[in-house]
Amino acid sequence: MRSARGLAKPTLLITVASLVAQVIQWGFFTVVAATFSQADREIYFYAARVPIEIIQATLQSTLNIVFVPLLIRYLRHHDPQVGQAQARAFAGAFLRALGLGLLVMVVIGEIWSMVLAKALTAGNQELPPSALGEIAWLIRVFFPCAAITSLGTILASVHFAHNRFGAPALALIMTTAAQLVTLWLLLQVCGVRAAGWAHLAGATAYLATTSVFAASRRHFQWRWSVRHAGVRAAWRKLGPLFGGTFLFRGPRFIEVQVASSLPKGTVSNLGYAYKLTGALAQLLQRGPVLSLLPHSARDAAHEDRVSGRHAFVVTTSMVLFALLPIVVALIVLRVPIYRCLLERGDFKLQDSVMAANATAWYAGALAALTLNGIAAYSLYARQEVNFMVWAGLIGTVMSAVGAPLLGRLGGYAGLAGAFSLAMIAANGYTYYSLHQHWGGIQWRLLLDSLWRLGLAAALMGVVVWCGRSLCESVPAYALGPPTDIRTVHETLQLALTLVVFGVFGGAVYLGTAALLGSREVASLWALVRDKWRSMRP
């Protein structure tokens, strides 16, 4: 059975790359907040909702889920040469079939872009007349971006199947770096359309980077035919999986529809809150799930459920160790975080408060999305996909009922709360499906980790909240001025205060978890100690 150290190296590599990529990505959003008007921010977040947050995310997740386990099954053939030949034939046929499907998707997006723009903005009477055209133009650009990124995802999957994580990790950084540089160069020339060109540059950089050592005859059989038994098996799985994953994104579309009828700025500020939540969820789960998927697929090929359960518990415990303090910090320090990241230009104090309060309500969604990824990928590795349809349907139905009701009662906070409830319900069904498939999960181990880490995170939250309250009572040490941030000095002062709180809170969390006997802290300390000893002469 694999230990935490066996999964630690690829997990750490992808997680560090994701962290760097997310930092650069938030540089992109900071530029958008500082230079775009509120109307332009609304246009961008309306347009990005369907192609970027729904279609591109759906394609990336489903392709990894279907392609990697099947490719590994071919590679695990008892005759290595036969296995390599079968894997090459399957990969080539799958890539050609995918290219044809993506071409159809792009054509549909180009034709129906204006219809999508009108559907997204229905109920919003405050957008300028030119906004529909700009939204439609961005949608027409975002659809090819989704297609290019999907092709890059297949090439990245080849790396994952061969236990190579360097190129996919570099691709994450190159994507966001290309987006930020392109936005900065074209901002004065193209206005809001610079965001579209930036996403196109990022998708191209992703495809170019993942093609290194993957787009070769060693891994793909270059023929015109798309006929292959593996492709037929993949598409049979891809149908329900794509439908379920699309339904799982449905609550976001419903949320935007309801938010269109709320005061001006709600769509963009909710968009920022969800971007931060989604970025943290990706950061927390991307490394673990992408390193877990190949291992779980190999365990499934050998019908080794014991090893699969062990890998799942180890990975979930690692994620909980990082997840709980982040959730607490988002709740306790939400306003200073947004003020430091985004409050400049046309992004005012009231925008920071709205986005921050929405993020606090998204905390439940952050936990649900992160943990759902671990459980779902454990099922995907065993070619179990039908559960996703029911999980997505549960989430969409709950959002369809809860978003209009809670949105009317609580405004933007009610919308965020409805989304969190929908994601928690969908995640509950995913864990139920995993429990049924395995005949049980090692719940005792998970609950043991949860109470120790949860108590440590709660104590951290209390200490940080008391420290923040004390600072707020002394104007000279308050977390940000009582008005809009206008100078770099104010931003740096706020950032320094957040760093101090972060370090102090992290020390409280780690110390308390260690005193409570957390296995995760012990494993982390052992890993650091072994690494230090190996570096010594």
Residues ≥6 apart with Cβ < 8 Å to 304: none
Whole-angstrom distance, CA of residue 422 vs CA of residue 400: 9
Cα separation of 277 and 330, whole Å? 9
pLDDT digits (tens, 9 = 90+) for 381-432: 676 777 878 888 898 999 999 999 998 888 888 999 999 999 999 989 988 8
Q: What's the rounded Cα separation, in Å, for the pair 506 and 265?
A: 34
In whole angstroms, what is the distance from residue 399 CA to residue 258 CA?
11
Smallest CA-to-CA distance from 87 within 214, 209, 206 is with: 214
Distances (CA, A) of 305 to 214, 270, 274, 287: 31, 41, 35, 22
Q: How far apart are the first and last CA of the chain?
A: 32
Q: Residue 179 — very low, low, confident or very high, per pLDDT cuts 50/70/90?
A: very high
**Tell me: the pLDDT tens digits for 465-480?**
988 888 777 665 566 6
| Non-local CB neighbours of 10 within 8 Å, separated by 6+ positions | 163, 165, 287, 290, 291
Return the pLDDT at 518. 85
The answer on pLDDT for 325 being more than 80 is yes
Indicate whether 225 pLDDT > 60: no
Verdict on whether the full-model pTM lies above 0.75: yes
What is the chain's alpha carbon radius of gyration, rounded to the nearest angstrom?
23
**The pair of three-digit structure tokens given for residue 32, joined into one six-digit string:** 């958008």
Per-residue pLDDT at 96: 73
DSSP H helices, 80-123, are 80-111, 113-120
Dump pLDDT digits (tens) for 27-65: 898 888 888 888 888 888 888 766 666 666 556 666 666
499 exposure class (CB count in 10 Å sphere: 0-12, 13-18, 19+): exposed
256 to 251, 351, 403: CA distances (angstroms) = 9, 17, 10
Model pLDDT for residues 272-324, shown as the tens digit of each residue: 888 888 888 877 877 676 666 566 655 555 555 666 677 778 788 888 888 99
Place of tokens 């779902």: 376
Burial of 511 (0-12, 13-18, 19+ CB in 10 A): middle
